[in-house]
């Protein structure tokens, strides 16, 4: 391979690398086929294959047998910060946007594809309400009184038992009951960081945690995150090594909005990094109980040193309105317990008794089996509908759990306009821009697939696709639609 | 009045002032009668009367017709910081003690005179539980879903209506629902102060707010407080004027532990000071609904400028276990709402519906009538028992609401030893030391009078009295008791 061939080969490699570094092809996305590339670059299939092999050796891409060629979860250009991810902590100012985008959740006359939440139809409403009634009948004094600040023993025991199979089980004594997962995360952030500190997060990440970071006046460092493999560990290690961050907030299972689940190996590596560099991990596992398949554990399972503040709740898997969550803060237990004590003394008792009973009887575990199946089927069906109706170039990652789809539109599109126009059509969606402080994902949107897929949902997706095609057309705006 | 007479007269005045400044007679306490003083100082009744008139003019004492002579709510020596109150902000380190003293609340086999809480027997348990059941039947979706972060409209409407008769009513839009009064106070503190800031408080003050200040790393400035009239406004003004504090946390109605209610005039002055010096007031009105007589309003009622962050809950007047409170933050609404949003998104819905219903029907107001009567009667009865059984020199202020008695033992006594020995006798009390960062009240204790007074309660008081007499005797300790 000499002369012009070498030149051509290097030139094609360089161009492909630039496309990856520049974000035209993002981590996890598929590259054009070998045949298409050979046509595009007007060269032989063999040359293209050689280019791709080199790029694979350099960790820019992954070649998967029978599937094609994909940008690596964590390409080197990104890790060194040369590409679109700027390796700089930033202050956040998203709260006005976030509140604006959340507001329609309480309008009854909309198709709700905005807030990430399974529909109450998927929940055992009768069993929940019956059990609550039974508790008010049989344990009125428990319902009435302050519970112990550490939580109701029957409940904390069940929570600890969830971790029996973990390499490092959670002890009942480490559990602190909270008002939902958000309180757990808020307390965890306030326990291990101070105003002005920087926290590493996945990119994109749940806007609620960005809002918490903004309100608590923490800075944020976005770490490149593969839509299929999760946070880039080598970039994270750089951030740890250079003491750029005081903590790392991640969601390794069924991440919102991307829907990935990190491999058990990577979770273990994540915890090892945190332990090695002595930087706490706040694990948001609010979606952990909705994983479509079995076998995944939270990162906390690998936490022998107590570096993970594990946050979890039942809002997404059973009932949000009782505001029940919990945290296992590991070595940060004492300070977090103090903050909890003065933030609300103790958490309400009836919700704890409800969950204790539903877990003791095995009912909750059974319910999860059907919930997961339904969510997986709904996600699949809506995903197909999006791929069918949205403009060419739209891609949608297959989620591994939860009830959201992350829809990546062609890069010139703007999901804020889409939000406004969808709202006028009676549909609530969430624009991608608020999932990153840098407005990095303005061409993306998140769809809640928590609702059973009926014709109303499918029509809404079709209508969204139409709006997207129209607003994304060269002569943008509603008037351009003939 | 010349020669020896003048000398005598001045000498007696000086001695009396030193007693007041030294704390032998504390604000609001009664001085010996004129006749006793004339015997004590071996002088004429007329000379004593002249002394007292001078001390009255100098604002050291108040002479009340037919009642006697009392140390002023706010004597000058205290205001200038010359006396036992040191006018210096201090850091707090009470949390270990407080947690230790709180722990026995969850032991079932004790007589509970520790935590300040009316007994569930005084509460309409059946009506509460029936209403909760009805809500789960008729509004399961409301119970299930996230409520709007601002709270359930039916509930916030009722809360706003409570203030119809205030000179400055609370608007429904200003109300933010919280997880109990503690969350309201915690959010209010975090809204208007930062770590390292100093907050003015009553002395003594509720240990829970001291704990919050400690955990949030705020300093505290104790302001002398009359057991009958409340916080000393002239001292507070000095602190405001010299910018010694960033906020002031008070409880003008049925204060815990002293039981006083400030006059409406003083509440108004308090708010005027806050407005004039632009220093926010955090008003803890958790006991406001338990005032024994009608007519008192919170300081918030006089707040035309939005300087008062009003905190209230139903924990002491109906049910603590549902953790339901609220805050009306006035001009600090925006920041507090942000903090609430990221601390728990929203407050659980069922408790809000419960209170909305009980308030709409007028049931809650009716319940308060009987609750107040019962608490007043219980307080009176236990107070008599304390005065009967405790060592000579013990004094107990008559509370104006709530369900605690502040027992002032002879000054050489130590309520921590009393706590430990009472616990061994199966009685839970709260020692006075944790009601001040300076351990100022080690000779005081707080008794919960929330329980209907039966023979067990009376026996417990008698037993406490015996322990106090024994541990307070010159040869201290259990062995000294014959």
Q: How confident is the model at residue B296 (pLDDT cuts 50, 70, 90)?
A: very high
pLDDT at residue B480 tops 60? no
A234 min Cα distance to partner chain B (Å): 30
Q: Phi/psi of residue B395, each to 5°? A: -125, 150
If you compute the radius of gyration of chain A from its CA atoms, what whole number of angstroms results? Answer: 23
Per this entry, what is the length of chain B?
482
Distance in angstroms (rounded) separating the CA atoms of residues B289 and B317: 6
CB contact under 8 A, B144 and A321: yes
3-state SS class at B148: coil
CB contact under 8 A, B343 and A143: no
Task: Provide the Cα torsion A376, A382, A383, A388; round to 10°.
Answer: 150
3-state SS class at B80: coil
Which of the listed ranges A39-53, A62-76, A380-394 does the model predict with the highest average pLDDT?
Answer: A380-394
Which of the listed ranges A209-213, B53-57, B436-440 does the model predict with the highest average pLDDT?
Answer: A209-213
Distance in angstroms (rounded) separating the CA atoms of residues B158 and B172: 9
| pLDDT of the residue at A24 | 67
**Across the interface, which of B320, B349, B351 has its CB nearest the CB of A145?**
B320
**Across the interface, which of B208, B315, B323 has its CB nearest the CB of A347?**
B323
User: Which is it for strands A308-313 and B247-250: parallel, antiparallel or unpaired?
Assistant: unpaired
Of the listed ranges A162-171, B11-20, B208-217, the one predicted with least confidence:
B11-20
- Best of B126, B179, B352 to substitute, by most chain A Cβ atoms within 10 angstroms, is B179
DSSP states of A197-252: -EEEEEES--HHHHHHHHHTT-EEEEEEEETTTEE-HHHHHHHHHTT--SEEEE--
Asked if the interface predicted TM-score (ipTM) of this complex is over 0.85, the answer is: no
| pLDDT of the residue at A475 | 46
Distance in angstroms (rounded) separating the CA atoms of residues A321 and B145: 4
Distance in angstroms (rounded) separating the CA atoms of residues B334 and B364: 30
- Residue range(s) occupied by CATH 3.90.1150.10 in chain B: 98-121+366-480
**Across the interface, which of A182, A339, A345 has its CB nearest the CB of B345?**
A182
**Across the interface, which of B183, B186, B348 has its CB nearest the CB of A322?**
B348
Of the listed ranges A166-180, A227-241, B62-76, the one predicted with least confidence:
B62-76
**Across the interface, which of B133, B215, B322 has its CB nearest the CB of A348?**
B322
**Across the interface, which of B180, B346, B351 has its CB nearest the CB of A344?**
B180
Instruction: Give me the percent of chain B exceeding a pLDDT of 70.
Output: 93
Q: How far is CA B204 from the centre of its chain?
A: 8
pLDDT at residue A304 tops 50? yes
Residues of chain A in contact with residue B344, where contact means CB-CB under 8 angstroms, are 178-180, 182-183, 186, 323
CB contact under 8 A, B144 and A216: no
A169 min Cα distance to partner chain B (Å): 27
**Average confidence (pLDDT) over A424-442:** 91
**Across the interface, which of A145, A186, A315 has its CB nearest the CB of B343?**
A186
| pLDDT of the residue at B86 | 52
Q: How far is CA A427 from the centre of its chain?
A: 22
Residues of chain A in contact with residue B354, where contact means CB-CB under 8 angstroms, are none
**Average confidence (pLDDT) over A90-111:** 85
Nearest CA to A323 among A471, A186, A479?
Answer: A186
| pLDDT of the residue at A158 | 95
| pLDDT of the residue at A331 | 97
B100 min Cα distance to partner chain A (Å): 13
Instruction: Give me the percent of chain B exceeding a pLDDT of 90.
Output: 67
Among chain A residues, the shortest Cα distance to B211 is held by: A342
| pLDDT of the residue at B83 | 40
Residues of chain A in contact with residue B115, where contact means CB-CB under 8 angstroms, are 146
pLDDT at residue A5 tops 70? no
Could you tell me where the DSSP H helices lie in B162-302? 180-192, 207-215, 233-241, 264-277
- Residue range(s) occupied by CATH 3.40.640.10 in chain A: 124-364
**Residue A370 burial by CB count (10 A; 0-12/13-18/19+): exposed, middle or buried?**
exposed
User: Which class would CATH give B124-364?
Assistant: alpha beta
B147 min Cα distance to partner chain A (Å): 7
Q: How confident is the model at residue A40 (pLDDT cuts 50, 70, 90)?
A: confident
DSSP states of A42-57: TS-HHHHHHHHHHHHH
Among chain B residues, the shortest Cα distance to A129 is held by: B136
- Best of B345, B350, B428, B451 to substitute, by most chain A Cβ atoms within 10 angstroms, is B345
Q: How confident is the model at residue B479 (pLDDT cuts 50, 70, 90)?
A: very low
CB contact under 8 A, A212 and B342: yes
- Cα angle, residue A249 at apex, residues A246 and A254 outer, rounded to 5°: 165
Cβ atoms of B176 and B337 closer than 8 Å: yes
Cβ atoms of B329 and B303 closer than 8 Å: no
**Average confidence (pLDDT) over A261-290:** 97
Q: How far is CA B11 from the centre of its chain?
A: 37
Angle between helices B264-277 and B233-241 (to 10 degrees): 0
Q: For chains A and B, what is the number of CB pairs under 8 angstroms?
A: 155
HSE at residue A14, side-chain half, CA atoms within 13 A, is: 6
pLDDT at residue B108 tops 70? yes
For the segment A332-353, what is each residue's pLDDT rounded down to a tens digit?
Answer: 999 999 999 998 888 999 999 9
Q: How confident is the model at residue A23 (pLDDT cuts 50, 70, 90)?
A: low
Say which residues have a Cβ less than 8 Å from residue A97's Cβ, sequence separation at least 6: A433, A434
Q: Longest Cα pair distance anywhere in chain A, in angstroms? A: 87
Name the β-bridge partners of A282: A249, A309
Residues of chain A in contact with residue B95, where contact means CB-CB under 8 angstroms, are 338
Instruction: Among 3.90.1150.10, 3.30.450.70, 3.20.20.70, 3.30.420.40, name the CATH number for the domain at A95-121+366-480.
Output: 3.90.1150.10
- Residue range(s) occupied by CATH 1.10.10.10 in chain B: 3-79
| pLDDT of the residue at B473 | 65
Q: How confident is the model at residue A93 (pLDDT cuts 50, 70, 90)?
A: confident
How far CA A465 is from CA of A132, A388, A431, in Å, comes to 42, 9, 14
CB contact under 8 A, B146 and A342: no
- Best of B321, B355, B434 to substitute, by most chain A Cβ atoms within 10 angstroms, is B321
Cβ atoms of B322 and A345 closer than 8 Å: no
For the segment B258-290, what is each residue's pLDDT rounded down to a tens digit?
Answer: 999 999 999 999 999 999 999 999 999 999 999
Q: Containing H/E element for B55? A: helix B45-57
pLDDT at residue B152 tops 90? yes
Distance in angstroms (rounded) separating the CA atoms of residues A222 and B59: 63
How far CA B157 is from CA of B148, B153, B166, B309, B356, in Å, comes to 14, 6, 15, 18, 8
pLDDT at residue B341 tops 80? yes
pLDDT at residue B179 tops 90? yes
Residues of chain A in contact with residue B321, where contact means CB-CB under 8 angstroms, are 142-147, 348-350
Distance in angstroms (rounded) separating the CA atoms of residues B308 and B310: 6
Q: How do the residues of chain A divide into helix, strand and coil, expressed in percent and rounded to 5?
A: 50, 15, 40
CB contact under 8 A, A323 and B338: no
CATH for A3-79 is 1.10.10.10
Cβ atoms of B229 and B266 closer than 8 Å: yes
Distance in angstroms (rounded) separating the CA atoms of residues A413 and A476: 10
Residues of chain A in contact with residue B215, where contact means CB-CB under 8 angstroms, are 338-339, 341-342
pLDDT at residue A6 tops 80? no
Of the listed ranges A16-30, A368-382, B77-91, the one predicted with least confidence:
B77-91
Cβ atoms of B198 and B279 closer than 8 Å: no
**Residue B173 burial by CB count (10 A; 0-12/13-18/19+): exposed, middle or buried?**
exposed
The architecture in CATH of the region B98-121+366-480 reads Alpha-Beta Complex (3.90)
Please state, as a whole number, how many other Cβ atoms lie within 10 Å of the Cβ of residue B251.
30
Whether omega for the bond prior to residue A269 falls within 30 degrees of 0, making it cis, is no
Of the listed ranges A14-18, A280-284, A314-318, A398-402, the one predicted with least confidence:
A14-18
Instruction: Give me the percent of chain A exceeding a pLDDT of 90.
Output: 67
pLDDT at residue B2 tops 70? no
Nearest CA to A335 among A164, A190, A156?
Answer: A190
Distance in angstroms (rounded) separating the CA atoms of residues B397 and B404: 10
Q: How confident is the model at residue B24 (pLDDT cuts 50, 70, 90)?
A: low
Distance in angstroms (rounded) separating the CA atoms of residues A51 and A14: 9
| pLDDT of the residue at B31 | 86
Please state, as a whole number, how many other Cβ atoms lie within 10 Å of the Cβ of residue A411.
12
**Average confidence (pLDDT) over A182-199:** 96
């Amino acid at each position: 391979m000499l002369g012009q061939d070498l030149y051509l080969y290097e030139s094609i490699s360089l161009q492909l690398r630039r496309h990856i570094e520049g974000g035209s092809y993002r981590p996890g996305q598929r590259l054009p086929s070998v045949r298409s590339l050979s046509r595009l670059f007007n060269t032989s299939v063999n040359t293209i294959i050689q280019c791709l092999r080199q790029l694979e050796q350099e960790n820019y891409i992954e070649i998967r047998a029978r599937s094609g060629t994909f940008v690596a979860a964590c390409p080197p250009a990104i890790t060194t910060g040369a590409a679109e991810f700027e390796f700089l902590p930033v202050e956040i100012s998203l709260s006005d946007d976030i509140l604006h985008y959340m507001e329609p959740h309480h309008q009854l006359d909309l198709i709700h594809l905005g807030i990430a939440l399974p529909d109450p139809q998927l929940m055992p409403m009768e069993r929940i309400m019956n059990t609550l009634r039974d508790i008010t009948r049989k344990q009125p004094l428990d319902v009435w009184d302050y519970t112990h600040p550490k939580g109701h023993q029957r409940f904390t025991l069940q929570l600890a038992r969830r971790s029996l199979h973990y390499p490092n089980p959670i002890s009942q004594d480490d559990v602190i009951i909270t008002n939902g997962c958000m309180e757990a995360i808020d307390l965890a952030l306030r326990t291990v960081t101070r105003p002005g500190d920087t926290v590493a997060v996945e990119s994109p990440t749940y806007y609620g945690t960005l809002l918490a970071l903004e309100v608590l006046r923490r800075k944020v460092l976005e770490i490149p995150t593969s839509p299929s493999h999760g946070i880039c560990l080598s970039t994270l290690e750089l951030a740890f090594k250079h003491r750029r961050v005081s903590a790392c907030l991640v969601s390794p299972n069924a991440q919102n909005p991307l829907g990935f689940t990190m491999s058990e190996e990577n979770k273990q590596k994540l915890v090892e990094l945190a332990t090695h560099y002595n930087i706490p991990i706040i694990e948001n596992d609010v979606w952990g109980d909705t994983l479509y398949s079995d076998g995944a554990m939270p990162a906390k399972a690998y936490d022998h040193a107590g570096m993970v503040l594990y946050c979890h709740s039942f809002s997404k898997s059973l009932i949000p309105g009782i505001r029940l969550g919990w945290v296992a803060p590991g070595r940060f237990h004492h300070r977090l317990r103090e903050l909890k004590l003065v933030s609300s003394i103790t958490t309400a008792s009836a919700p704890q008794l409800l969950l204790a009973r539903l877990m003791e009887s095995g009912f909750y575990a059974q319910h999860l089996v059907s919930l997961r199946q339904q969510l997986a089927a709904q996600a699949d069906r809506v995903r197909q509908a999006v791929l069918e109706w949205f403009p060419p170039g739209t891609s949608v990652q297959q989620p591994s759990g939860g009830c959201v789809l992350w829809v990546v539109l062609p890069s010139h599109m703007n999901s804020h306009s889409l939000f406004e126009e969808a709202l006028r059509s009676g549909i609530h969606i969430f624009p991608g821009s608020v999932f990153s402080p840098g407005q990095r994902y303005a061409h993306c949107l998140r769809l809640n697939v928590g609702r059973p897929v009926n014709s109303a949902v499918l029509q809404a997706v079709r209508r969204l696709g139409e709006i997207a095609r129209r607003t994304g057309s060269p002569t943008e705006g509603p008037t351009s639609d003939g």
